[in-house]
Amino acid sequence: MNFELDAVFIEDSERETALARRIAAAVQDRAPIENVADGRVPARAIAGADSFSAGKRRMVVMRRRTPFVMSCPAGSARFACCGYLVMVLASNCPMDCSYCFLQEFVADNPGFQIYSNFADAFEELERIAHRAPDRHFRIGTGELADSLAFDTMTGLSRELIAYFAEREKLTLELKTKTDEIGNLLDSDPRGRVLVSWTLSPEKVWRTSEHRTAPPAARIDAARRVLEAGYRVAFHFDPVIAYVDAEREYAELLDHLFEVIAPEKIAFFSIGGLRMTPGLRAAARRRWPRDPMLLDEHVLADDGRLRTFTPLRLKLYRIIADRFERAGVKVPGYLCMEAASVHERVFGAAPASPATIGERLARERERF
Ligand code: SF4
């Protein structure tokens, strides 16, 4: 996809890295390039009408000064978590979903940061694998950024796939709302790379997922990477309760299964719309006419505003039911929900986060 950039900043010490060179070559006719001593400076918010939007168009190629790999920041003892590890290779995103938590999470540092020393993450992964030689881990890059936005320019996926293809117990998950899969189709994942798409009904895409690929294009991209040897998974997150939601989520699932046989899907996840009061205020300020943000929400005991529980569970059940009725057991989990909610949706208590993480990471494992 062709995202707009106003400027690219490259840290002086990183100018000769392969990543900086690739980006400089790719953007030379699209945006001015400036060298800076410290990338953290242009990454900061600039006073103005919408510094978050401006940050999305200001790419900063810089060293990451803190660890790359961590437990999922959404994890909590309150929730039945999925044991996901996050590898932060970039921060912020050129797309602009009205509900995106980054509007609050990176408000002070909204520049689109890409970390040129990303290969240091591989050493962290080696240490994790060494400490727990019997375990499998699922590691995703799509938490503070979309995994594939700008991949045509950065070529990062090629280097990640080459690394993970050689690691039996480490599974990479590339999570995206794009159809930017060109580099994936040229690589051999050896069954150790998952590509997952977040899916919403067409109406949510039109009102709220700005500059993302349409849902049908995401599903078609999934079909193509599946044929190229990748595992595929889908996230229905955030599920939003709007007037036609019940019918339209069911239709989305029907379309998905027409294109991709359910038994080919590695797993799915479901999560509800959830916003801290600060995020909801920021989102409504930026998107005052977005109908998906205007419903009444209940302040839950985790401090987030959520859809009224019976309504949200009804939508979760519609999605889970569609998978159950498909006739094969596709693993599913809930994101940022309590074990009691998991039980009401799936009819059984969730396994421990480590067990779920292990199962999702393993090739073709069913549970
Ligand atoms: S694609 Fe993901 S990271 Fe990008 S704006 Fe949308 S929700 Fe945020």
CATH number at residue 347: 3.80.30.30
**How confident is the model at residue 239, as a pLDDT?**
98
- Domain holding 335, by residue range, is 64-109+117-361
pLDDT values of the chain reduced to their tens digit, one per residue, 367 residues: 578 999 999 999 999 999 999 999 999 888 999 999 999 999 999 887 789 999 999 999 999 999 999 987 777 778 877 778 999 999 999 999 999 999 999 999 999 999 999 999 999 999 999 999 999 999 999 889 999 999 999 999 999 999 999 998 999 999 999 999 999 999 999 989 999 999 999 999 999 999 999 999 999 999 999 999 999 999 999 999 999 999 999 999 999 999 999 999 999 999 999 999 999 999 999 999 999 999 889 999 999 999 999 999 999 999 999 999 998 899 999 998 888 989 999 998 888 877 878 888 885 443 3
Beta-carbon count within 10 A of 62 CB = 25
CA of 80 to the centre of ligand 1 (A): 23
**Rounded-to-integer distance, Cα 164 and Cα 176, Å:** 18
**How confident is the model at residue 366, as a pLDDT?**
39
Question: Which among 186, 200, 156 is positioned nearest to 174, based on CA atoms?
Answer: 156
Residue 367 within any structural domain of the chain:
no
- Residue 143 near ligand 1, beta carbon < 6 Å: no
Question: What is the residue with the minimal CA distance to atom 8 of ligand 1?
Answer: 100
18: amino acid identity, one letter: A
Residues constituting the chain: 367
Question: Which among 228, 220, 230 is positioned nearest to 185, based on CA atoms?
Answer: 228
Residue 81 within any structural domain of the chain:
yes
**Helix runs in the chain, H state only:** 18-27, 40-43, 51-56, 102-105, 120-131, 151-154, 156-164, 182-185, 202-208, 215-227, 245-259, 277-286, 309-324, 339-346, 353-361
Residue 55 within any structural domain of the chain:
no
Question: What is the residue with the minimal CA distance to atom 6 of ligand 1?
Answer: 97
Residue 280 within any structural domain of the chain:
yes
Residue 41 within any structural domain of the chain:
no
Any idea what the Cα angle at residue 266 is, between residues 220 and 177, rounded to 5°?
40
- Which residues have C-beta within 8 Å of that of residue 272, sequence separation ≥ 6? 237, 238, 239, 306, 307, 312, 315, 316, 336, 337
**Rounded-to-integer distance, Cα 6 and Cα 20, Å:** 17
Residue 34 within any structural domain of the chain:
no
Burial of 32 (0-12, 13-18, 19+ CB in 10 A): exposed
**Rounded-to-integer distance, Cα 97 and Cα 249, Å:** 18
Total domain count for the chain?
Answer: 1
Please tell me what DSSP assigns to residue 108. T
**How confident is the model at residue 346, as a pLDDT?**
92
CA of 329 to the centre of ligand 1 (A): 29
Q: Residue 194: beta bridge partners?
A: 173, 231
- Residue 177 near ligand 1, beta carbon < 6 Å: yes
Residue 3 within any structural domain of the chain:
no
